[in-house]
Structure 1
Amino acid sequence: MAIIMGTAGHIDHGKTSLVKALTGIDCDRLREEKKRGITIELGFAFLDLPGDVRLGVVDVPGHERFVKNMVAGAAGIDFVLLVIAADEGVMPQTREHLEICTLLGIRRGLVALTKVDMVEEEWLDLVQEDVRAFLEPTFLAEVPVVPVSAHKGTGLDDLRREIAGLAGEFHREPRSDVFRLPIDRIFTMRGHGTVATGTLISGTLKVGDDLEVAPKGLKSKTRGLQVHGGTQERAEVGQRTAVNLHGLEVEDLERGMVLTHPGTLFPSTTWDLELTCLPSTPKALKHRTQIHFHHGTREILARVYFLDRDKLEPGDTAMTQVRFEEPMVGMYGDRCVLRSFSPLRTVAGGKLINPLGRKVKRRSATVGRLAELAASQGDERILLQLELAGLAGLTFGQLRAVTCLETKELEKQLQLLGGRQEAFLFEREDRTYVHGRLAQELCAGIAEHVGEFHRKEPMKQGISRGALASGWGRKLHPKLFHFVLERTLKQGALAADGDLFRLPEHKVSLASDQARLRETILQAYDQGGLTPPNVKDVLSPLDLEMKEAAPVFRLLQEQGELVKVKEEMFFTTQALERIKEMVRGFFRENPEMEPSDFRTVTGLSRKYTIPLLEYLDKEKMTVRVGDKRRLRA
């Protein structure tokens, strides 16, 4: 099993010297680090332990100017080695580094009391008491404090034993199987090209795998892998990994980007967090405060928006929205650190609740939902995220990101929720889901809309699919609209007559005078046959205008009795069928038809010929070629 230990502590307390004494590897590789005698960048080493365990070691800088580099290194570690010099004791970065580890969710570690060869025994006893008092309220309260000297080798064997014991007891909590490697170094290797390194925080990576560099969306492929300096075909969670990238230059990448498999992480400029303000923070964090935001190996400027208050007092926790200047990628449960804009110091940290956040109305019910989400498990978390997503729904890939559930567990839970009709799959290609309660509300809403249509248009048989989609369903994904319509039909809340949709109980009922008008109109057009009357000729004896008779004409069309060929020119369905048969008969013996041929075949005047020919074109029975018509295949 791969485990990562990270150092923490004040500048010049001997972190790098201790790592070299333990592993034989000097983590200071930069010329500037050698010249100044301080660690500036992250350093990496490894230590082989009993039980076939190779412990990766991340050495972090201690200077306050390089805390951002320290956060980048601490983001992927499993436990911390807090280094405190016996000649100085607890110092400012000792406190800040330990606070950062706490905010990042690190709960295991031990303490090395270095430079014991430089102090008297009596002083060492006093420092140990002081260190114990400092550790009392922290997660390191009960851990061993091991006196060591990297220079003389004192206590190194004891420290190795304590590290081995801690590593042997370590059990990593199961998280998502989505491959993620936050980049902390980029360089070029002669003969290989661009290499990115980092701690693999979840999932696995194999040589040949397709890659995406998030949030930029750059595509690449895994040309080669090294784990702790050795070539491997596969890298697993917890390992220090170097990835040889195909098709990318060093200039394309920067620290903070994340290597992942395509389609698994989703950039967003808004995150929802459960945020805790450090008790040591000198003053409250105010609404809309600008801060330095640290997540994984990335640092970015952001603003905090409190959803249920105007400020966050030291020691308090609240649901918070963070908005970034550039897109970020993350997963539910990720830890983050906030540092004040000026002066630079760690002020807060939190747990990522929703990496696909949407702007939330302050002091709304959504704030309570986010609080529930922070403590949720399994199917409850899925449903809460679907509820927050609303009409947009969530794809399977997005659900992996916003729940941090392993793929098989997520599939199992979605099947169970589907069986209980608490979540519905409405789009199969991207596997997009919507909350079951929302689906039921939409089904009720579409039926209510059709009912309102009936009240406004009692003479119409129903409403068309197109009118429903462009009206009631205009804010829905087309496939969600289709899903809701089909489900409402299946439930029996709607009925379909061809392309028209109505409530099952809806029937067009004419008043007695309108019923007589219907019969009069239909009789006039039946008698007219192939030469139907003008609308005015039908309505004048009845002392009616077209706008008064229009509902009856529409009803006759919907019922299939009349067909509108052009404005105020109607034919009965039977008459049009006779005309179509005459045309088919002509084409059995002739390849083309001119307007004069049509008049000869039907015996109709020019008044009817041109509108009817255009009608047959529109019906796709014929096609116009110049001034002639041909029968469509």
Structure 2
Amino acid sequence: MANAPHLVLGTAGHIDHGKSSLTLALTGTDPDRLREEKKRGITIELGFAQLELPDGRTMGVVDVPGHERFVRQMIAGATGIDVALLVIAADDGIMPQTIEHVAVLETLGVPACVVALSKADLVDDDWIAFMSDEIRSFLQNTPYAQAEIIPVSSVEGTGVEEVRAAIQRACSGVEPARQHRALRLPVDRVFTIKGAGTVITGTLWSGEARVGGSVEVLPSGKTSRIRSVQMHDTPVEAACAGNRVALNLPDLSTSQIAPGDFLAEPGTLATSDRFDAFFTYLDTAKTGKPLETGARMHVAHGTREVLGRVLFCDGKKALASGESTYAQIRLEEPLPVASSDRFIVRTYSPVQVAGGGRILMAHPRRRTNLTDVDRAMLDALRDGDIATAVQAAVEREEFPASAASLARGLGLPAEAVSECLKATAAARKLVTLQAEGDTLYTTRRVVQKHVSAIERALLAFHAKNPQAIGIASEDLRRQSAPRCSASCFSALVREAEAAGKATHSGGHIGHPSAQGAAAAAIDDAATALLAVLDAEFATPPLRTDLFTQAGVDPRMGDKALNQLKRDGKVTKLDADLFFSETAIQKCAQAVRTYLEEHGEASVADLKDALGTTRKYAVPLLELLDARGITKREGNMRTLG
């Protein structure tokens, strides 16, 4: 049975109905570990044990409190449960916490249930039959309508093995906990072991906890390596999803992690202050009142409970008990939620279970009016159709998005989202762009929209700046797509270039139709400047005088000079001094002729040979030195 799925059994039921006694009878472990629990005879905190099934498999057991004051711990315990053991005392019957606990189990999506009709030794067979009918009627409209009902007495030991066998049968139809996903674990206990340091316990929701691995604590973001892993007091190298585990985290103190925190594989999960959900209202208190949108509630997820508001979508004002709708839950403290997680809500005051549901989108925009695309995405997430949900998520994005960002927004595993995107793009239903080594996904409509925006911004720029060859990329981004990242915008500009709506030139982006006229103007200016530099030979005018002599506007002149430099027709010797390449070649020939005749020469000799002044001769000769035409030795120069 080594390959059998690891499942978790959770007890549920009213206070003093015998959950802990039955757990002791089934497992041999007393889950009431606190002195106060022993003294008062009730479970205050979560207790844990291990159950061996008839076929040799083992299950982790979470024994949860039944008293109304400890419903919060019950919710924490029910998180991650695969099979519920609902304990109802035969002499008491269905009680308020019985109703509330079943509502929690149903809302958290616990798939299977076995009912233990405890304290059967206190009543006769007729009463057992009557109570069984009452329970069957109570469960009729829940997912547990077909649950087995087993009379049992923990005191006499009767029915215990029948309960064990019924639990095994219930397990047969239960899918194992989610596999092949990143590690996620809600923390339910934190303590210190001398010589080891901080230890936490919890039910491993997904992924694998392995010795030497790393975990991130949310919401704090602190990290730690895992020094050791235990399952049911037994050291192991690794534990997979579905197991109760204890992890030794030596890099954290008990002040840095607490019950209610969440462990995750680093970088795979982000907290959110809101989420979209399919929400069901359950009036467990039987008030008869509908739940109004915007109600402030206690929101329980994993092992943490925070305050938040439940806002119904599409203008729905209220829900009657048993009704469901799409809702956005806005939290007063962030939670590390993911798609398909379950949550519970309890009324603000008095505190009573009032429903809950399944998280669909982990990082939605703040909105309650759903577009057609929003609804299609939520419908797909609700149906478990990841491919359709991912497609809808891409369609609602304003800009091309990476697989990682889409996965974070949806709260889905990045690997699954990436596979869906690749398949959809291969089917030509999506467009892919490359940005700084990452693949971005979008629709053709979004690309066309942004290419048009880029073109409009370029045409507007050229209308105001007819002589400009283009605009800087960052300025263009601010004008046409200010909320777009720089890398994504560069990818969109490349699409605009491919469509003939933009072109790069000298680090600037322009529109091809307007850029031609600007380029022609720059060419004309360059020709005029070059003519002056060629004519002046070894005594060219400085930059400002050069523009004046050539009759060129200074702004256009700088662009023309830059173009001449790129083309290799002009060389800049200092901030305001430029020589044409033709003039440099003439000067080089004059210097070469003089040195061939005289062997060596000073700056004074060569300036006379060039017919120029020292102001021009010195930088010119340094240029010839750099090119290897001349060689300086002290104050004299020879041929290189």
Q: Tell me which interval the TM-score lies in, with the shorter structure as reference length.
A: 0.7 to 0.9
Matches within 5 A, 1:614-625: none
Query: Once structures 1 and 2 are overlaid, which stretch shifts more, 220-229 or 281-290?
Result: 281-290
Matches within 5 A, 1:526-565: 527=535, 553=557, 556=560, 560=564
Using the TM superposition, give the Cα deviation of residue 228 of structure 1 relative to its aligned residue in structure 2, in angstroms: 1.6
Using the TM superposition, give the Cα deviation of residue 432 of structure 1 relative to its aligned residue in structure 2, in angstroms: 6.2
- Counterpart of 2:350 in structure 1 is 343
SS in 2 for 1:251: coil
Query: Once structures 1 and 2 are overlaid, which stretch shifts more, 207-216 or 432-441?
Result: 432-441
Using the TM superposition, give the Cα deviation of residue 2 of structure 1 relative to its aligned residue in structure 2, in angstroms: 1.1
CA distance in 2, matches of 1:316, 1:350: 11
SS in 2 for 1:20: helix
CA distance in 2, matches of 1:600, 1:421: 74
- Counterpart of 1:261 in structure 2 is 265
Residue 449 in 1 paired to residue 457 in 2? yes
Q: Please, which of 317, 323, 327 is the counterpart of residue 311 of structure 1?
A: 317
- Counterpart of 2:327 in structure 1 is 320
Matches within 5 A, 1:360-375: 360=367, 362=369, 367-368=374-375, 370-375=377-382
Residues 293 and 336 of structure 1 are in contact (CA less than 8 Å); yes or no, is this contact kept in structure 2? yes
Change (3 A) 1:25 1:465: same
The aligned length equals 604
CA distance in 2, matches of 1:33, 1:8: 17
What TM-score, normalized to structure 1?
A: 0.82
- Counterpart of 1:352 in structure 2 is 359
**Runs of 5+ consecutive residues of structure 1 not aligned to the other structure:** 589-593, 617-633
- Counterpart of 2:280 in structure 1 is 276
Query: Once structures 1 and 2 are overlaid, which stretch shifts more, 555-564 or 442-451?
Result: 555-564
Query: Once structures 1 and 2 are overlaid, which stretch shifts more, 138-147 or 475-484?
Result: 475-484
- Counterpart of 2:8 in structure 1 is 4
SS in 2 for 1:235: strand
- Counterpart of 2:92 in structure 1 is 88
Counterpart AA for 2:282: L
Q: Please, which of 35, 41, 45 is the counterpart of residue 39 of structure 2?
A: 35
- Counterpart of 1:385 in structure 2 is 393
Residues 364 and 409 of structure 2 are in contact (CA less than 8 Å); yes or no, is this contact kept in structure 1? no
Residues 31 and 49 of structure 2 are in contact (CA less than 8 Å); yes or no, is this contact kept in structure 1? yes
Using the TM superposition, give the Cα deviation of residue 76 of structure 1 relative to its aligned residue in structure 2, in angstroms: 0.8
Give deviations 1:536-585, integer Å, cap 9, x for gaps: 9999999x9x8xx678657745764998989x989685578669979999
Using the TM superposition, give the Cα deviation of residue 312 of structure 1 relative to its aligned residue in structure 2, in angstroms: 3.2
Query: Once structures 1 and 2 are overlaid, which stretch shifts more, 59-68 or 475-484?
Result: 475-484
CA distance in 2, matches of 1:367, 1:584: 77
Using the TM superposition, give the Cα deviation of residue 140 of structure 1 relative to its aligned residue in structure 2, in angstroms: 1.0
Residue 331 in 1 paired to residue 338 in 2? yes
Residues 203 and 243 of structure 2 are in contact (CA less than 8 Å); yes or no, is this contact kept in structure 1? yes
Counterpart AA for 2:183: F
Using the TM superposition, give the Cα deviation of residue 41 of structure 1 relative to its aligned residue in structure 2, in angstroms: 0.5
Change (3 A) 1:206 1:582: farther
Using the TM superposition, give the Cα deviation of residue 246 of structure 1 relative to its aligned residue in structure 2, in angstroms: 1.8
Using the TM superposition, give the Cα deviation of residue 359 of structure 1 relative to its aligned residue in structure 2, in angstroms: 2.4
Query: Once structures 1 and 2 are overlaid, which stretch shifts more, 299-308 or 143-152?
Result: 299-308
Change (3 A) 1:33 1:124: same
Change (3 A) 1:108 1:486: same
Counterpart AA for 1:485: V
Using the TM superposition, give the Cα deviation of residue 339 of structure 1 relative to its aligned residue in structure 2, in angstroms: 0.8
Using the TM superposition, give the Cα deviation of residue 126 of structure 1 relative to its aligned residue in structure 2, in angstroms: 2.3
CA distance in 2, matches of 1:467, 1:146: 74
SS in 1 for 2:227: strand
Using the TM superposition, give the Cα deviation of residue 268 of structure 1 relative to its aligned residue in structure 2, in angstroms: 2.2
- Counterpart of 2:291 in structure 1 is 285
- Counterpart of 1:468 in structure 2 is 476
Percent sequence identity is 34
Give deviations 1:397-445, integer Å, cap 9, x for gaps: 76278353473x444323223433615364566x564434434533443
Matches within 5 A, 1:358-437: 358-360=365-367, 362=369, 367-368=374-375, 370-375=377-382, 377-388=385-396, 390-391=398-399, 393-394=401-402, 396=404, 399=407, 402=410, 404-405=412-413, 407=415, 409-419=416-426, 420=428, 422=430, 424=432, 426-427=434-435, 431=438, 433-437=440-444
Counterpart AA for 1:393: A
Query: Once structures 1 and 2 are overlaid, which stretch shifts more, 190-199 or 70-79?
Result: 190-199
Using the TM superposition, give the Cα deviation of residue 214 of structure 1 relative to its aligned residue in structure 2, in angstroms: 1.8
Using the TM superposition, give the Cα deviation of residue 83 of structure 1 relative to its aligned residue in structure 2, in angstroms: 1.1
Change (3 A) 1:230 1:579: farther
CA distance in 2, matches of 1:387, 1:555: 42
SS in 2 for 1:6: strand
SS in 2 for 1:250: coil
Q: Please, which of 308, 312, 328 is the counterpart of residue 302 of structure 1?
A: 308
Using the TM superposition, give the Cα deviation of residue 256 of structure 1 relative to its aligned residue in structure 2, in angstroms: 1.5
Give deviations 1:22-71, integer Å, cap 9, x for gaps: 11111100011011111111111111113331011111101111000000
Give deviations 1:229-259, integer Å, cap 9, x for gaps: 2111110111111111122122221112122
CA distance in 2, matches of 1:18, 1:193: 33
Matches within 5 A, 1:77-226: 77-172=81-176, 174=178, 177-226=181-230
Change (3 A) 1:151 1:584: farther
**Runs of 5+ consecutive residues of structure 2 not aligned to the other structure:** 596-601, 624-640
SS in 1 for 2:80: coil
Change (3 A) 1:255 1:505: same
Query: Once structures 1 and 2 are overlaid, which stretch shifts more, 471-480 or 366-375?
Result: 366-375
CA distance in 1, matches of 2:590, 2:83: 87
- Counterpart of 1:620 in structure 2 is none
Query: Once structures 1 and 2 are overlaid, which stretch shifts more, 447-456 or 555-564?
Result: 555-564
CA distance in 2, matches of 1:124, 1:109: 19
Give deviations 1:567-606, integer Å, cap 9, x for gaps: x989685578669979999xx9xxxxx9999988976679
Give deviations 1:356-383, integer Å, cap 9, x for gaps: 2332374666753553453352322223
Query: Once structures 1 and 2 are overlaid, which stretch shifts more, 128-137 or 321-330?
Result: 321-330
Q: Please, which of 52, 64, 78 is the counterpart of residue 60 of structure 1?
A: 64
Give deviations 1:323-378, integer Å, cap 9, x for gaps: 32333212111111111111101112121122223323746667535534533523
Counterpart AA for 2:338: M
Residues 530 and 575 of structure 1 are in contact (CA less than 8 Å); yes or no, is this contact kept in structure 2? no
Residues 390 and 434 of structure 1 are in contact (CA less than 8 Å); yes or no, is this contact kept in structure 2? no
CA distance in 1, matches of 2:38, 2:606: 98
